[in-house]
Amino acid sequence: MMERRVVITGLGAVTPVGNDVQTMWENILAGKSGVDFVTHVNKDEFKAKVAAEVKDFDPTAFVEKKDARKMDPFTQFAVAASKMAVEDAKLTIDDSNAHRVGVWIGSGIGGMQTYEDQFRRFLDKGYKRVSPFFVPMMIPDMAAGQVSIQLGAKGINSCTVTACASGANSIGDAYKAVQRGDVDYIIAGGAEAPITNMSFAGFSTAGALSLNDDPKKASRPFDKNRDGFVMGEGAGILLMETLESAQARGAHIYAEIVGYGATGDAYHITAPAEHGEGAARAMQHAIKDAGISLTDVDYINAHGTSTDLNDKYETEAIKTVFEDHAYKLAVSSTKSMTGHLLGAAGGVESVISIKSIVEGIIPPTTNYETPDPDCDLDYVPNEARKQDVNIVVSNSLGFGGHNVALVFKKFEE
């Protein structure tokens, strides 16, 4: 059986740098940061003071108020971005195709705000005052569940939970579902709303968060003075479909997804495998899956978290895979502006990667001031670069040793 080509026809995003794709893209190209002093928690109680929060988001612009109240913020973000993507694709979901429309949206943590609110209510007022919606608001798969309900999508409905690789794994898994014929269309990506007291505390005590008290300078991937990641929130969603269906509909095609690689480190619960061994294999698998040459790759949207080992080992992984071509590649981390959206990162960064192909512009790594001898590639420092982009690799790596690489390609008939 011949594998079906899979194209991207719709994009949606809710991010710290904009609550729609175009606003997000314009701000990223301008190097604008979505990082500021954290407001979702009391910053005076934590050593880390900054976060990349979504601003001025109104869920009732996308769902009825009564429905919004039954959704944790991560689900609200997912529903909003999914509706944007489906509208962008001009896809009508009705009885004629609903069973061929899937949903695959990942979240690393799920409804942490709901969990904390309801646990506080349990402690203060007893179990009878816990909301009957507690469990269906909290569980990570409910973003996919609610998107399916809100849009009437009756095909495969799934959620990949792989920490900070969740969004990328979900897109890769969804891509394969379309490629092999399980569905003809799929709404896929990641959503996260993790900026809560317990999450902030956990990442703080783990020493993972930046302690920089200058918000705009805190997230600095690949810079020698990086000191940890900045927690972010939001959602990034793609509408993917078969090339045949897109052509039959006369849909606008942004790009094609051609490769997916996923590996495990089998090494440590939080630290990446030494020298980026697992990340390197993920990229190698994705490139093999795509059937391309190493020299075909123009740009890598790096995981680039602004943590010491991640940035060092991801750089090593890129050099292991691409050898001499590594120094001819553009590599940038848009987390320098969006912060780290955890399970949503792969979704948002896939949208950014696709936009870079369409627009022929590579977004910068901002706050790159002091080169690190261990990080010696072309990180597109501080300013966006106009350049023809044919193929992009987007990397996502997660706690538990999850490594994902996605390959997006300029669409050609």
Residues annotated as catalytic (active site), given as ranges: 164, 303, 340
* Interatomic CA distance for residues 114 and 140, integer angstroms: 11
Bridge partners, 406 (sequence order): 260, 394
Rounded CA-CA distance 245/120 in Å is 49
- How many angstroms separate the CA atoms of 364 and 334, rounded? 7
Residue 109: both structure tokens together = 């943590």
Characterize 206-218 residue by residue with b for buried, 16 or more Cβ atoms within 10 angstroms of its Cβ, and e for exposed.
eebbbebeebbbb
Distance of CA 273 to the CA centre of its chain: 21
Sort 267 into a burial class: Cβ within 10 Å, 0-12 / 13-18 / 19+.
middle
Q: Are 86 and 93 in contact (CB under 8 A)?
A: yes
Residue whose pair of structure tokens reads 């701000």 in the numeric block:
27
Spatial separation of the C-alpha atoms in residues 114 and 84, rounded to whole Å: 25
**Cβ contact 311:221 at 8 Å:** yes
Residue 268 and residue 398 in contact, taking contact as beta carbons nearer than 8 Å: no
Rounded CA-CA distance 231/209 in Å is 7
Q: Please answer whether residues 88 and 266 qualify as being in contact, where contact means their C-beta atoms are separated by less than 8 angstroms.
A: no
Helix, strand or coil, per DSSP, at residue 316: helix
The conformation of residue 223, written as its DSSP 8-state character, comes to B
Listed residue (284, 292, 290, 289) closest to 320, CA to CA: 284
Tokens of 9: 């026809």
Residue with tokens 């869920």: 59
CB-CB contact of 87 with 252 (8 Å): no
Q: Which of 338, 74, 333, 350 has its CA nearest to residue 188? A: 350
The answer to whether 331 and 362 have CB atoms below 8 angstroms apart is: no
Q: Are 7 and 246 in contact (CB under 8 A)?
A: yes
